[in-house]
Structure 1
């Protein structure tokens, strides 16, 4: 094939990536609208949210920032595949991509620790507010430090085409220079990723075992209560039957003894009523129901956060694999054909789903959020139209 200009080559690649650009645009729209809705609902409808939901609006805010920034930059990158000549812009963009994506990931770890403390160590005090704020600041600081080496690893690099005989420039991993920095960073990030996923699996495994054990105990307790109620009912029926037979046999007893029996029965009933009232006072029905509701809410939110964590793992897995492939084969993207490129780019960019899907999980699994979001949207559309 005859030689073509870099601009023509870039047009060919950009046209092949139109499906990716459309998908990224959908990512940005869904992620922005969904996370903005979460923030608005928690700001206006769920102002006095419980301790269980403390990190949800914070996670939504950082998810929204990551979706907008990463989505728009990757659209620009798709349009300027081989004509990305601005080195400083590439380095700065990669730094902020790392910074904005690391924070939600660390927040998921903090949430997992909070769920573990809540369910597996109920006798110990829950995570206080100042600790939550401290962990949030730590997550931001660690993300900032983790993103600092990225400008040394990424930059505007030469991009060769054997097919078209052209040389362009793209924003990618630097092939020469700073080898020690790149090697150390790759090892640290690899160890951190393995440790993070392992910690999440261990924490949620322990949480799952605890929840299963508690559900099993509650079922056994409820079956015991049902059995006791049936036994007590049987005993009462037996007592009333014996009283009836004794009464028929002693029909010739005097009226005085009958009146004494009536008095004794009245006294017994009064004592039973007093005991029942005392029991009701000591264990109010409302507080018992509230405890059950709180327990149910804790379990449901734990399952919800577990699903969010699973989505995070599966959405980041393709990118991690591709980053490993890039490390082993420096010319990987140069050897990819125009027909293969959209598929590989889709896998490379699918991590953004982690920042998009959370509002939909809330709407599906959090009944209270779904109700409050419905009320908010009805009010919004009534005021607008």
Structure 2
């Protein structure tokens, strides 16, 4: 390698191409995401009720998050900082892993949305058993492998032009560049995302509307019961016999009292809390992957898109295509703040360790 080529490659890796912000972004995601997801997975698997379908699906989702932080993010950092040092087999594994985690996470969210829809909108229907929930997780995993397999085939050594020189990087392989298959696969990627977003949005809109109607009906029932209790408790009967008032006051005060809080119970709030957690996870996933999928569509339609970017635009581009990493960092935060049961076990874990 001559001196000129070394200088050009140094510039290619340096600040001139906006790689430093993206590298710092990945390192931060690993630093926050890996401990948080490992802790979340431990609590879900060993502290919470593993017979709950909610815990089964969220644990499965947390496994994808742990794999992303422990395997994919370090590979992403290597590809960013040392793009000329990646062997082809590692490049193929890296791209395959990326597609697998994307497909698996999105498919899991779809299954969760359908299960929550049945549970909330059609509560009288037979609920999904624990065995069926685990079977759904295995089906998602196998389907994710099948849909990610083309990424292993299509990606590999790609010859990139750097100034007056060329180098080999990890991208769509030269053998696949002039075929229609990369376009077809990326189109499938984008369509799967768009279709999933539509299904998720429609499903959760119906779920939220159903919960709101149930809450309104429950509040009306609580007010009605409260009014009835107040009417009954008025000492109207003392007008007939004053001794009756003392009789009522001498009754056993330890008897359970019917009040508005006892109407509806805590089951509804627990169900709504779980739905809130899953809804937030879904929203963050959609927003985090939106820039990634949009850029993928642009690159499919305009192959020379990156060559026209300025240094600042290049930095934004490199961060935007890695923006989905935020999704895997945010999930433990959502569990900790929005799931009361998870929060209870988290506090108990730290209190017992002292």
Question: For the superposition of Structure 1 and Structure 2, which TM-score range results when normalised by the shorter chain?
Answer: 0.7 to 0.9
Q: Distance in 2 between matches of 1:169 and 1:376?
A: 49
Larger radius of gyration: 1
Alignment of 1:109 onto 2:107: no
Name the TM-score, length of structure 1 as normaliser.
0.80
Shift of 1:217: 0.1
Q: What value does the CA root-mean-square deviation take over the aligned residues?
A: 2.9
4+ aligned runs moved over 4 Å, structure 1: 174-178, 288-291
Q: Distance in 1 between matches of 2:298 and 2:185?
A: 16
Residues 183 and 300 in structure 2, CA contact (< 8 A), matched pair in contact too? no
Going from structure 1 to structure 2, the CA distance change for 1:12 and 1:209 (only over 3 Å counts) comes to: same
User: Counterpart of 1:125 in 2: which secondary structure?
Assistant: coil
**Which segment drifts farther, 99-108 or 39-48?**
39-48
Residues 12 and 131 from structure 1, CA distance in 2 versus in 1: closer, same or farther, beyond 3 angstroms?
A: same
Q: Which runs of 5+ in 1 are unaligned?
A: 245-261
1:94 paired residue number: 95
Residue of structure 2 in register with 1:167 after alignment: 166
Q: What is the SS of the residue equivalent to 1:330?
A: coil
Q: Secondary structure at 2:324's aligned position in 1? A: helix
C-alpha distance in 2, partners of 1:356/1:231? Answer: 54
What's the counterpart of residue 27 of structure 2?
25
Does the 8 A contact of 1:66 with 1:101 survive in 2? Answer: no
CA contact (8 A) 2:22 2:315 kept: yes
Aligned position for 2:205? 205
Distance in 1 (alpha carbons) for counterparts of 2:47 and 2:153: 45
**Do the aligned residues in 1 keep the contact of 2:99 with 2:151 (CA within 8 Å)?**
yes
Structure 1 equivalent of residue 220 of structure 2 = 220
Q: Secondary structure at the match of 1:18?
A: helix
Q: Which residue of 2 aligns with 1:41?
A: 43
- Deviation of the 1:240 alpha carbon: 1.6
Shift of 1:11: 2.4
1:236-258, Cα deviation, whole Å (9 max, x unpaired): 42x322446xxxxxxxxxxxxxx
Structure 1 pair 174–130 and aligned structure 2 pair: CA distance change class (3 A): same
Q: Does residue 79 of structure 1 match 2:87?
A: no
The alpha-carbon distance between structure 1 residues 335 and 70, as it changes in their structure 2 partners (threshold 3 A), is farther
Q: Does 1:352 align with 2:333?
A: no
Identify if the C-alpha distance between structure 1 residues 138 and 75 changes in structure 2 by more than 3 Å, giving closer, same or farther: same
Q: Secondary structure at the match of 1:350?
A: coil
2:71 aligned with 1:69: yes
| Superimposed CA distance per residue, residues 11-45 of structure 1 (whole angstroms, 9 cap, x where no aligned partner) | 22333222321221111121210111012223443
Report SS of the residue matched to 1:13.
helix
Deviations 1:294-332 (A, max 9, x none): 110100110111011000000000000110111012122
* CA separation of 1:285 and 1:84: change in aligned 2, threshold 3 A: farther
Q: Is the 8 A contact 1:35 1:356 kept in 2?
A: yes
Aligned to 1:143: 144
TM, length-normalised to structure 2:
0.87
| Alignment: residue pair count | 343
Contact persistence 1:13–1:338 (CA under 8 A): no
1:251 maps to which residue?
A: none
Asked whether 1:7 is paired with 2:6, we answer: yes
Contact 1:4 / 1:166 at 8 angstroms: preserved in 2? no
The range that moved more, 309-318 or 168-177, is 168-177
On the 8 A contact 1:153/1:178 being kept in 2, the answer is no
Q: CA deviation at 1:91?
A: 2.1
Q: 1:85 to 1:62 in 2, by over 3 A?
A: closer
d(CA) in 2 for partners of 1:6, 1:49 = 60
Deviation, 1:86, is: 3.1
